[in-house]
Amino acid sequence: MTSTNEINQSFIEFAEAVMGREMARPSHERIVTSFQDARIAGLQAIVDYIFSMGGKYPNPVSADITEFFLAGEPFNTGYQITEQIIGPSLVSKVKPNKTEEMTRLITGFEQASYGIVTPEFKKSLDSLLERSISKASMLLNGTYLKSENPDNEFQGQNVIVTGSNTGIGRAVALEFARRGAKVVLHYSAPGFARGALSAQEMVLESSGEAKIFQGDFRKTEEIFSFADQSAEYLGKVDVIVNNAGITLNKAFDKTTPEDFDSLFSVNVKGAYFLTQKMLPYLNKKARIINLSSNHGVRGMAGYSVYASTKAAIAGLTRVLAMELSPITVNSISPGWVAGVNHFKLSPEVDFNDEGKKQVPNGRIARPDEFAKNVVWLASKGSMNVTGQDIASDGGLSIGMYCGNSCTMVSDKEWGKQYLK
């Protein structure tokens, strides 16, 4: 494991690359006791500012680093994970960000590492928020999970979100909690629990209600166990978001029966039997929202199994909408939504620029943005929508982008870590 000194030295080198000067060595040993920690807010601001290319892109495609931190741990632990997962992507974008504003953020972060939070630092975070570059000041003042919708539409409702340890699922769970819902979060195995745990901590810290349960959906008994635990905690259920899924890009002639079974078990069987198991607990006007994909309607080399699972989800959605009425059942297809794995696997890519090139509406979405579309399908405003596979993909489903070749399988090994 990387030592404390190595972590701090990594930060020093990073900061010096940004600022072009030496700086004092910060202390990251103090325990994180709250997500209002100025060190988390400061690091989030730095990350967002760098990914905005020095403020060039409002609403930048960036990473939510709260996924990496847990209360009760030294700040160093979450910092190390941040550095390992998105550090190379950040460093590749440092040079264009050598600005006075970046210098102020780095200096403020350094002071926060010693427990000093200056008015100037707070002002810098507020300035970023005003320009939609970062939500760091909301973390610092404890309003990160404050609803933008004052009527808290989901107050008193109970929601299950599977696959909520990272990316879209985690953002969806937080968005429901932000709007007043009591939420069950899900993770597949102990090695993938951190993001769900941190989300639970954030909800509880904001006076919400949330609990996490584990379930490896490759195993039918664990689907049922997850369902039983969720039912015991929630009682009645108003919304199920079947988000759990794994992807895999692999040539058709290299795909194994084990690959096939793993993807269909998690992506299809998990949604199918969790929904079936929860039927006795569903509110008469409950909402079921399945995550499909534009891979299910457009071809892309290397995704034969994944695309098949997502086409199956769309078909299942239509049938269940008929069988379970007046419960509404819809699926929603994300296009390119940049989660932390995108920064890890493609550190050299500027996702803001790629969005301009590849997505018809000119941008790649963040998980928190896509989450609002998912939550809408559970809202009063969507009560007449059922049996639909809705594309929320910036227009990608108009025609799948092939990159350099429509026949070549990408060398990025998406989903490999989930098949171990």
Q: Find, among 223, 247, 58, 109, the residue nearest to 166 by Cα.
A: 247
Asked whether the beta carbons of 200 and 210 are under 8 A apart, the reply is yes
pLDDT band (50, 70, 90) for residue 314: very high
H helices, E strands: number in the chain: 15, 7
Q: Which residues contact 367 (CB under 8 A, 6 or more apart)?
A: 64, 167, 168, 170, 171, 172, 337, 338, 339
pLDDT band (50, 70, 90) for residue 299: confident
Give the tens place of pLDDT for each residue, 131-148: 999 999 999 999 999 877
pLDDT confidence of residue 406: 43
Would you say the pTM of this structure is higher than 0.85?
Answer: yes
Under CATH, domain 158-419 is a member of which superfamily? Answer: NAD(P)-binding Rossmann-like Domain (3.40.50.720)
Q: Give the residue, 14 or 201, on which the prediction is more confident.
A: 201
pLDDT confidence of residue 1: 40
The pLDDT > 90 percentage for the chain reads 66
CA pair distance 124, 380, nearest whole angstrom:
38
pLDDT confidence of residue 289: 98
Query: Angle CA(407)–CA(411)–CA(416) in degrees, nearest 5?
Result: 115
pLDDT confidence of residue 291: 96
pLDDT band (50, 70, 90) for residue 95: low
pLDDT band (50, 70, 90) for residue 4: very low
pLDDT band (50, 70, 90) for residue 28: confident
- Of these residues, 93, 306, 380, 416, which one is catalytic? 306
Per-residue pLDDT for 302 more than 70?
yes
Determine the average pLDDT of the residues in 159-169.
Answer: 97
CA pair distance 315, 310, nearest whole angstrom:
9
- Compute φ and ψ for 283, nearest 5 degrees: -55, 145
Per-residue pLDDT for 390 more than 60?
yes
Instruction: Give the residue extent of every domain in the chain.
Output: 4-141, 158-419
Q: Is 420 a catalytic residue?
A: no
Give the tens place of pLDDT for each residue, 215-255: 999 999 999 999 999 999 999 999 999 999 999 999 999 99
- Compute φ and ψ for 146, nearest 5 degrees: -80, 130
Which helix (DSSP H) or strand (DSSP E) does residue 182 occupy?
strand 182-187
Q: Give the residue, 28 or 342, on which the prediction is more confident.
A: 342
The tokens for 152 are 């808290």
pLDDT band (50, 70, 90) for residue 300: confident
Q: Is 310 a catalytic residue?
A: yes
313 phi-psi bin (left φ>0, alpha ψ -120 to 50, beta other): alpha
pLDDT confidence of residue 133: 95
pLDDT confidence of residue 297: 77
Determine the average pLDDT of the residues in 54-62.
Answer: 91
Alpha-helical (H) ranges within 131-242 are 136-141, 167-178, 194-205, 220-234
pLDDT confidence of residue 356: 85
pLDDT confidence of residue 110: 85
pLDDT confidence of residue 221: 98
pLDDT confidence of residue 7: 42
Determine the average pLDDT of the residues in 153-168.
Answer: 96
Q: Average pLDDT of the chain?
A: 88
pLDDT confidence of residue 301: 87
- Of these residues, 93, 135, 250, 310, which one is catalytic? 310
Asked whether the beta carbons of 35 and 139 are under 8 A apart, the reply is yes
